[in-house]
Amino acid sequence: MTFPVIGMVGGGQLARMTHEAGIPLGVKFKLLSDAPTDSAAQVAGDVVVGDYRDLDTLRRFAQGCDVITFDHEHVPTEHLHALEADGIPVRPGPRALVHAQDKGVMRARLTEIGAPCPRHRIVSDPADVARFAAEGEGFPVVLKTVRGGYDGKGVWIVRSAADAVEPFRAGVPVLAEEKVAFARELAANVVRSPHGQAVAYPVVESIQVDGVCDTVIAPAPGLDPKLSTHAQQLALKIAEELDVIGHLAVELFEVRTGDGSGDGTKVLVNELAMRPHNSGHWTQDGAITSQFANHVRAVLDLPLGDPRPRVRWTVMANVLGGDYPDMYAAYLHCMARDPGLKIHMYGKDVKPGRKVGHVNTYGDDLADVRERASHAAGYLRGTITE
């Protein structure tokens, strides 16, 4: 058999679930993990413990891998170029991945290809932030370090120039963006292979709490079918123009057009992620082919699987760590309450606010499906006790 070896950099839950999805596909999975206790390292057989920031470590890891892919976007771009120069297929490649690593590069490129974005520009200091505000609707303004942020980290909402000192401390270029008064957040997820085959998942609604994804509803309820198709086409276009291989999540703001009196909505691109993404976890139980299986298929240039939903509604709710460290009793309770609940635990120690798992529920009645997901997530966290 010549079933190939995938090398995945990063031992988080995305790698854990990618390994899970690769088992039935019969592919070999090799992991580069920071620690032997990391989420994915607990469940995979072929684990190298090492630092992805060290090129020699990456090079040794890549030996015997047919392709390298990623649990996160933190591998230095220059290391990825070095691996490519060594002849190792890197998917997504560094020329694509830089758009998910550097928000400045991402905004410039999206603007170039005509993808709708919030008003934005690189700013040099707090006074420049004030000028950026004055160029548009004024404060508040969103500031982001171009590299290193996720889940609300590296992002500030500032209400004045005096408020805008902190983001410049790290010495990383800072991107200013208008604070979009969005109606809601959406995500358009697609998967693309080196052949150029691509599939689009249904557009989903993503509900954030304190800057962290809380709930995803698939498909986005009440979304105008034309806007849905437009968002899918936009994501496919971004994947093609940026030459993304694997899963691409395009996080979107849905905003009202015109005077806001209901004459329509449009989308603006918020963020890109070039790996399996939290907004696609619903596909494990709600789609014919999960984002993880399709990511594996894409990076190996295998034909992609059907992305269509299996059921009318699927809801994903993240399980965050709460105040008590042992979730097992709550887990047992949730299984007893709802025999159709799909729990996905990451094997992580519980810390308050840390994502330690998610649940999926599905069915025909959206209110019921949402209630089941949010009850289970709340019960596991400890915010619901009955």
Site for a second copy (CB under 8 A): which residue of 169, 259, 339, 385?
339
How far, in whole angstroms, is CA 167 from its chain's centroid? Answer: 23
Q: How far apart are CA 116 and CA 69, in angstroms?
A: 28
Stretch that binds a second copy, among 58-66, 91-99, 329-337, 369-377 (CB under 8 A): 329-337
- The position carrying tokens 């123009």 is 241
Is residue 273 a contact partner of residue 100, using CB atoms and an 8 Å limit? yes
Nearest to 254 by CA among 142, 137, 118: 118
Site for a second copy in 29-88 (CB under 8 A): 29, 41-45, 47
Closest to a second copy by CB, 13 or 265: 13
Beta carbons within 8 Å of 366's beta carbon, 6+ residues apart: 217, 221, 312, 313, 315
Q: How far apart are CA 64 and CA 356, in angstroms?
A: 32
Site for a second copy (CB under 8 A): which residue of 53, 153, 310, 351?
310
Is residue 193 a contact partner of residue 304, using CB atoms and an 8 Å limit? yes
Give me the 3-32 binding string for a second copy, x by CB under 8 A, dash otherwise.
Answer: xx-----------xx-xx--xxxx-xx---
Nearest to 251 by CA among 177, 361, 141: 177
Which residues fall in the annotated binding site for ATP?
A: 103, 144, 177-180, 185, 270-271
Residue 27: CB minimum distance to a second copy, A:
8
Closest to a second copy by CB, 46 or 135: 46
Closest to a second copy by CB, 161 or 341: 341
Closest to a second copy by CB, 85 or 329: 329
Q: How far apart are CA 223 and CA 201, in angstroms?
A: 14
Beta carbons within 8 Å of 37's beta carbon, 6+ residues apart: none
Site for a second copy (CB under 8 A): which residue of 63, 335, 353, 365?
335
Site for a second copy (CB under 8 A): which residue of 306, 353, 383, 384?
306
Closest to a second copy by CB, 180 or 343: 343
Stretch that binds a second copy, among 1-9, 111-119, 154-162, 185-193 (CB under 8 A): 1-9
DSSP-assigned letters across all residues of 340-357: T-EEEE--PPP-TT-EEE
Rule CB under 8 A: say whether 336 interacts with a second copy.
Answer: yes
DSSP-assigned letters across all residues of 77-142: HHHHHHHHHTT--BSS-HHHHHHHH-HHHHHHHHHHTT----SEEEE-SHHHHHHHHHHTT-S-EE
Stretch that binds a second copy, among 97-105, 239-247, 269-277, 295-303 (CB under 8 A): 295-303
Residue 306: CB minimum distance to a second copy, A:
4
Dihedral (Cα; 265, 277, 20, 298), 10-degree rounding: 80
Site for a second copy (CB under 8 A): which residue of 323, 328, 367, 386?
328
Closest to a second copy by CB, 204 or 334: 334
Is residue 353 a contact partner of residue 320, using CB atoms and an 8 Å limit? yes
Instruction: Provide the binding-site residues for a second copy, judged by CB under 8 A.
Output: 1-4, 16-17, 19-20, 23-26, 28-29, 41-45, 47, 284, 288-289, 297, 302-306, 310-311, 325-328, 331-332, 335-336, 339-340, 342-347, 349-350, 357
